[in-house]
Amino acid sequence: MTSRDSISRRSLLALAAAAPFASVAANNDKIPIGLELYSVRDELKKDEMGTVRAVAKMGYEDVEFYAPYYDWTPEHAKEVRKLLDDLGIKCYSTHNGPQSFSADGIQRAIDLNGIIGSRYIVLASAGRVKDLDGWKRVADMLNTGAEKMKPSGLKPGYHNHQLEFTVIGGKRPMEVLAQNTSKDVMLQLDVGHAIQTGADPVAWINQNPGRIRSLHLKDWSPDPEKGLKVLFGEGAVPWKQIFQAAETTGGVEFYLIEQEGSNYPPIETAERCLALYRKIHG
């Protein structure tokens, strides 16, 4: 696109073409809105259960646990599941390091995610990948994970940062992952990181129909003093267009607010972002 705070003409045309299908999304159940718990990571370390209760009390419908969950015992995972059930919220996905996809570690991830009721084991970072061949190996790892998870009803996902939308060797790594993984692999779109590189998130969603089943609703401002610390809805991201694309083309199943920081305390930040989401999305 020509600027980081606008969407391309191509994307607008794609959205117009998708308009006849808008009623499909309208007839579906409401898309759940959740919180990536990295947003309140310090509070979570101090009081895990209390923080989850506070998040549920705000009105969030699901939570995404990040990598430290992998060290839970099965017994603790059952305690967490009971809390989620008591609060009436879900955990649709978890964020994971490469260990959760390793030959020695994947079964542990499958077991823990099964206990807490997750649908997706998301690889949050592939670590150091030097070239496009390296990204093809990451795609192979995700495909292998999909096969191993299938008997348990789980699926893998991949979460982008800026790196995956930055061109190397003439191509963006996210394109390599999308083209070389099966449709079982969810492409979890972190909107803030994508748009920060100059990528068009609406175009990306429309180019990968049915695979953008989860989005991290992270805003971004071109103001260097704000960047990713701007609250949801107060940056340059075209949220209305993104929601339309996600719900007509992307196949979104749930949204997740993620905030890397702001001028407010983390719990207040999460509450403010939820209020802004409800105002913008409806």
Name the residue ranges covered by the structural domains of the chain: 9-281
Neighbours of 19 (CB within 10 A): 10
The per-residue pLDDT for 190 is 98
Q: What are 176-179's contacts with CB under 8 Å, separation 24+?
A: 176/132, 176/135, 176/136, 176/139, 177/135, 177/138, 177/139, 177/142, 178/207, 178/208, 178/211
Second CATH level (architecture) for the domain 9-281: Alpha-Beta Barrel (3.20)
279's CB contacts (< 8 A; 6+ apart) are 233
Distance CA 244, CA 248 (A): 6
Which pLDDT value is given to residue 104? 97
User: Whole-angstrom Cα distance, residue 278 to residue 33?
Assistant: 9
Taking the chain (282 residues) in consecutive chunks of 10 residues, what is each chunk's mean pLDDT?
35 36 45 98 98 98 98 98 98 98 98 98 95 98 98 98 97 98 98 97 98 98 95 98 98 97 97 98 94
pLDDT for residue 240: 98
Supply the pTM of this predicted model: 0.89
- SS3 of residue 231 by DSSP: coil
The token pair that represents 135 in the structure block: 């990204």
